[in-house]
Structure 1
Amino acid sequence: MPDNRLETRKSFPMQRKIHFLDGLRGIAAFYVMAGHARWLLWEGFNEGYLKNGHLYSSVDKLCMYFLSLFKWGHEFVLFFFVLSGFVIHLGYAKKLTADPEVKISIKEYLYKRIKRIYPPFLFAIFLTALLDFIGSKYGFSIYSGDTPYSSINKQIGNTSHSISTLFGNILFLFPEYVPRFGTNGPTWSLKFEWWFYILYIPFLFMSRKNIYLSTGLVVLLFVVSFFPGIWPVAILQTIFSSMLCWWFGVLIAEVVAGRLKIPLLYLTGAFLVGFVGLFLFKSRLDIADLRTAFFFSALLSFFLWYNNKEYSLRLLERLKPLGDFSYTLYIIHFPILVFLSGIILKINNNYLPRHSWYVFAGMVVCIVIAYLCYFLVEVPFMKPLKSGSEARKKKDVSAVGS
């Protein structure tokens, strides 16, 4: 997922730096990738281990149980949502704390979001199309939905690569108006992120004066999303069914910036109450997602409180390098794993192995490729665009120095 670093490192630093956020983002991206590697490069629990468990060695069983810790990938995507809402809003919340009438440039905001989202995303589309084409050309069964694994066939097979699908995906109109492009399933969350960014604009101006009013409206729209038949635009119903999860990060930013006078530890407790309380409601996906968002919001609030108390989060800070390329890792790992799975199925009589060594190898391949691609599709777009006057001033200073 996009890391939005440019939004936080402005002229309103926190009392303590929050570099541990990069570590959290890296952990979340790694977790999602590991879960997908487990799913695509191993025969699976229901369709493999339950049938062939007696053939597993002790080491294979140990690896199987260890990798089962990575089966909650969807939940960790919601962690991305909470982190994103926090990081996007923190800079603006601090500006509004210092000056409620501060000018907010929508043009600058959209420029940064487009520059951050699109280069890795367009590269991921190209990579997906390339690997899907090669895999299909060589008859890999995973691309035609002809594997013995129903879960893989359902999620991977029968993909679309048409021009209309391509442009619909670039505009984040899938799957309501066009199918998903190719085999890159995790792009679903990027679609949500993009629409969160767009819808954040009116809510930001609304929250300038009253964060409670904007929060109440987000809650109301979440409730109304339970009734899809009344929405004239289907994609908005889908987005508002999850935007409250993202908005939790906004509320945490309001507390950190001082606009909401709530101690972080109290906020942590409030989120935990929400997490526990939602177990009383009917188990439907949007409620389950909200419950997960409550949990991760509590976790983030606690970490921020812990960080401000001069305690050490050094372990998370040391994972900053992983967080730096976490967006590229997240957005390109899936088509790579699908391609690797196709190769393994091809050479193994259309079956995935019982051992998990390919899972670990696939994770290493994804990390290496993502790290290298990061310098191609992220780093060049992180540098701020200098105006002509700034460039001339820098040139004049250089001339004097020489």
Structure 2
Amino acid sequence: MTIPRPDPDADAATVRAEPTGAYFHMDAMRTMFALLVAFGHAWALIIRDYRPPAGWLAEAGYYFAGFGHQAVILFFVLSGFWISRSVVRRAVRGWSWRSYLVDRLTRLMPVLLGALAVGGLLDTIAVRLLHSPTHLGLTDTYVLRIDIARHLSWEVLLANMAFLQVIVPTFGTNGPLWSLSYEFWFYIWFPALWLALRHRRLSLALVALTLGWFVPKLALAFLSWLCGAALYGVVDWLARRPPPRRRLVLAFTVTAAIALLATLADERFVENTWQDPALALVFSAFLLGLILLDPPAVAGLRPMASYGARASFSFYATHFPVMAFACALLLGSERLVPDVYGMALVALALLLSISFAWVFAAQTEGRTPALRDWLCRVGRRRLRGVAQG
């Protein structure tokens, strides 16, 4: 799941300074959540399905490999916080759909197009040249039980470029791209609703809400995303009032952390319709306490925070086809037992995908400001040309 963090906008009405320490830890969380998702995928691609008894290290691997979906929900909360923050502040200054969409699309499209290109290339080589058992479904892993050839069609590619993974398959092996399409539609839904309800300003973007009727899972996931938006609303409201007692905030944060861990443990084995919004709500409560406490940055977490801010989006968008290709090179028709060799291959697949994403991000996420500036210059030149004509 992807969380493109917008540039912080100045807000003169906010009384207290921005909680930069809390934001540092939120960036580190982005890396941690992406690692949980990627670890679960690497484990499922390489390690055979659970068979008792297993050693304690293997048991731990099987256990933590099952938190990928929960990590995506936590991503949604962070995304809801950052994007709603940007939308609300833009609306106060004077809303422009053009400016907003330029910012969002210049953040999303380079990564999406690059991920589709890389994934398509690696998948094609794996299927047509390497005849990879992983890609042909011979390893029977639950994370890759699809017809790869059908998923590599031009129709699927074009639909994925238009963020329509909510109604069509994801391109090639890159199943994680489903959450990117969810994010895109949330980026449209929230400002459309906010402008209509808060500023009495209707737009054609409201029509996009009908997609939730046809894709109920998308509408349900939006509730989790909105927990992050509600978190920003509470933080913004509290920022204009006297700060609460630190002892009370600390007690609240510890309680929320315990509730979060309990909810995660429960959802690891129990499934119900409302578990994702419940998890998002508890996580939002924990983030509220973290933001109010605003703990200082921790030197040991700086690499994680830096990676989270610069490359976690790319890591999430590219890790699966990179890992699957590594399996095409290293794995036969049977997945491995969770011994030292098997777990070493899992670690290697993770390291390869992390390293690749760092380089990939430098050419995509790292060029977002330059791309945005270029598009703005082109737009201004066209407007001047129209005015002069």
Residue 375 of structure 1 aligns with which residue?
Answer: 362
Gaps of 5+ in 2: 201-205, 381-389
Pick closer, same or farther for the CA change 1:315–1:250 going to 2, 3 Å.
farther
Residues 8-157 of structure 1: pairs in structure 2 closer than 5 A: 8-10=8-10, 14-17=17-20, 18-46=23-51, 50=52, 53=54, 61-66=56-61, 68-94=63-89, 102-137=93-128, 138-147=130-139, 149-152=140-143, 154=145
Residues 167-206 of structure 1: pairs in structure 2 closer than 5 A: 167-176=158-167, 178-206=168-196
Identity, in percent, stands at: 25
Cα shift readout 1:338-376 (whole Å, capped 9, x = no counterpart): 112222333xx5343433110011111111111111111
Pick closer, same or farther for the CA change 1:337–1:260 going to 2, 3 Å.
same
Residue 281 of structure 2 aligns with which residue?
Answer: 294
d(CA) in 2 for partners of 1:95, 1:258: 17
Pick closer, same or farther for the CA change 1:135–1:275 going to 2, 3 Å.
closer
Maintained 8 Å contact 1:272/1:295: no
Q: Point out the more displaced range, 199-208 or 2-11.
A: 2-11
SS of the residue corresponding to residue 134 of structure 2 reads helix
Cα shift readout 1:109-166 (whole Å, capped 9, x = no counterpart): 111110111111111111111111111122111222122x352553576651111111
Taking structure 1 as the reference length, the TM-score comes to 0.75
Residue 350 of structure 1 aligns with which residue?
Answer: 334
Maintained 8 Å contact 2:19/2:291: no
When the two structures are aligned, how many residues end up with a matched partner? 350
Residue 313 of structure 2 aligns with which residue?
Answer: 327
d(CA) in 1 for partners of 2:32, 2:141: 29
Q: CA deviation at 1:271?
A: 11
Which of the residues 206, 220, 243 maps onto 1:241?
Answer: 220
SS of the residue corresponding to residue 151 of structure 1 reads coil
d(CA) in 2 for partners of 1:247, 1:364: 33
Pick closer, same or farther for the CA change 1:204–1:353 going to 2, 3 Å.
same
Q: CA deviation at 1:305?
A: 1.8
Pick closer, same or farther for the CA change 1:236–1:111 going to 2, 3 Å.
farther
Maintained 8 Å contact 2:31/2:312: yes
Gaps of 5+ in 1: 211-216, 222-230, 392-402
Pick closer, same or farther for the CA change 1:311–1:319 going to 2, 3 Å.
same
Q: Point out the more displaced range, 6-15 or 198-207.
A: 6-15
Pick closer, same or farther for the CA change 1:142–1:80 going to 2, 3 Å.
same
Taking structure 2 as the reference length, the TM-score comes to 0.77
Which of the residues 241, 248, 255 maps onto 2:234?
Answer: 255
Q: CA deviation at 1:196?
A: 0.3
**In the alignment, does 2:162 pair up with 1:162?**
no
Maintained 8 Å contact 1:255/1:261: no
Pick closer, same or farther for the CA change 1:286–1:112 going to 2, 3 Å.
farther
d(CA) in 2 for partners of 1:112, 1:145: 39
Maintained 8 Å contact 2:136/2:148: yes
Code of the aligned partner of 2:227: F
Please give the root-mean-square deviation of Cα atoms over the aligned residues, in Å.
3.7
Q: CA deviation at 1:272?
A: 9.0
SS of the residue corresponding to residue 6 of structure 1 reads coil
d(CA) in 1 for partners of 2:303, 2:9: 19
d(CA) in 2 for partners of 1:371, 1:291: 33
**In the alignment, does 2:198 pair up with 1:208?**
yes
d(CA) in 2 for partners of 1:72, 1:155: 22
